[in-house]
Amino acid sequence: MTAVLENPATESPKPEAGAVSTFDVTLRVRRYNPESEHGEESVWDEFTVTAHGTDRVLDALHKIKWEQDGSLTFRRSCAHGVCGSDAMRINGRNRLACKTLLKDVNPDKPITVEPIKGLPVIKDLVVDMEPFFASYREIMPFLITSGNEPSRERLQSAEDRERFDDTTKCILCAACTSSCPVFWTDGQYFGPAAIVNAHRFIFDSRDEGATQRLEILNDKEGVWRCRTTFNCTEACPRGIEVTKAIQEVKRAMITRAF
């Protein structure tokens, strides 16, 4: 048997027992499919679906794909905000479709859904993630140590562990990087996500590769391109203080303290 929860997320008075409140919502989706009649041109498509109070944008996209147009294409996997597959631009803001409740993005008006910006679109909401991961790989996103390995674990104080806790939360969804106006105009820029992952190691007391990473990020396409617009912090579905992390990396570059 399956527990049914009727609309618990609304703040309005709870509906009668057993009643499930539903509403209609329209999604305006930016479509692109080089195999279609539109060729290289992207077009807007509108779909209306019936949704429940706890439904997320991903549920609405699934309803469209499963009931109306099977060709609507997007990535998704875990559907609860931990795998990072379904970052997209919803009403002009980068979010995870599986973490955005329809009721929170004003379902009275059409909700616009577009692919994240700054990465080549492959089909509909799917972009080529390779350039994004290439930047990530460049900042040496792994623990660098020298000397013999200890027989037990390396010791690390709870305070030292806490120092980089925030940036360990990154799920590489690209919501931050693809919200950055610098990245939109300059695809060479490492982007916030790569810097966040560099931060995660630079400030890890066990790591000895900070100097190398700071050297990489001192590049003309590195941290100095950041204009502190805070789009990345706002976009992060994991609540990471991305801009602050970038600032900390900048400061480490000047003070060499980390």
Stretch that binds another protein, among 111-119, 143-151, 177-185, 246-254 (CB under 8 A): 143-151
Applying CB under 8 A, among 165, 208, 215, 228 the residue interacting with another protein is: 165
Q: Which residues, numbered 209-238, are part of the site for another protein (CB under 8 A)?
A: none
Applying CB under 8 A, among 34, 215, 218, 228 the residue interacting with another protein is: 34
Q: How far is the CB of 222 from another protein (least distance, A)?
A: 19
Q: How far apart are CA 230 and CA 228, in angstroms?
A: 5
Using CB under 8 A as the binding rule, whether residue 166 contacts another protein is answered as: no
CA distances from 232 to 84, 107, 138, 180, 226 (A): 15, 25, 20, 6, 10
Using CB under 8 A as the binding rule, whether residue 99 contacts another protein is answered as: yes
Using CB under 8 A as the binding rule, whether residue 129 contacts another protein is answered as: yes
Using CB under 8 A as the binding rule, whether residue 147 contacts another protein is answered as: no
Applying CB under 8 A, among 47, 189, 190, 201 the residue interacting with another protein is: 201
Q: How far is the CB of 181 from another protein (least distance, A)?
A: 25
How would DSSP label each residue in 71-90?
A: T-----SSSSSSS---EEEE
DSSP state letter for 152: S
Residue 200 near residue 167 (C-beta atoms within 8 A): yes
Using CB under 8 A as the binding rule, whether residue 123 contacts another protein is answered as: yes
Q: How far is the CB of 147 from another protein (least distance, A)?
A: 12
Q: How far is the CB of 17 from another protein (least distance, A)?
A: 4
Using CB under 8 A as the binding rule, whether residue 40 contacts another protein is answered as: no
List % helix, strand, coil for the chain (3-state, nearest 5). 35, 15, 50
Stretch that binds another protein, among 22-30, 203-211, 213-221, 244-252 (CB under 8 A): 203-211
Which among 75, 121, 128 has a CA at the least distance from the CA of 98? 75
Beta-strand runs (E) in the chain? 22-31, 43-52, 87-90, 93-96, 111-114, 121-123, 126-127
Using CB under 8 A as the binding rule, whether residue 93 contacts another protein is answered as: no
Radius of gyration of the chain, Cα coordinates, nearest whole angstrom = 21
Q: How far is the CB of 78 from another protein (least distance, A)?
A: 4
Stretch that binds another protein, among 76-84, 111-119, 225-233, 248-256 (CB under 8 A): 76-84
**155, exposed or middle or buried, with CB in 10 Å at 0-12, 13-18, 19+?**
exposed
Query: Whose structure tokens read 């969804």?
Result: 173
Interface size with another protein, residues (CB under 8 A): 71
Applying CB under 8 A, among 21, 48, 73, 212 the residue interacting with another protein is: 73
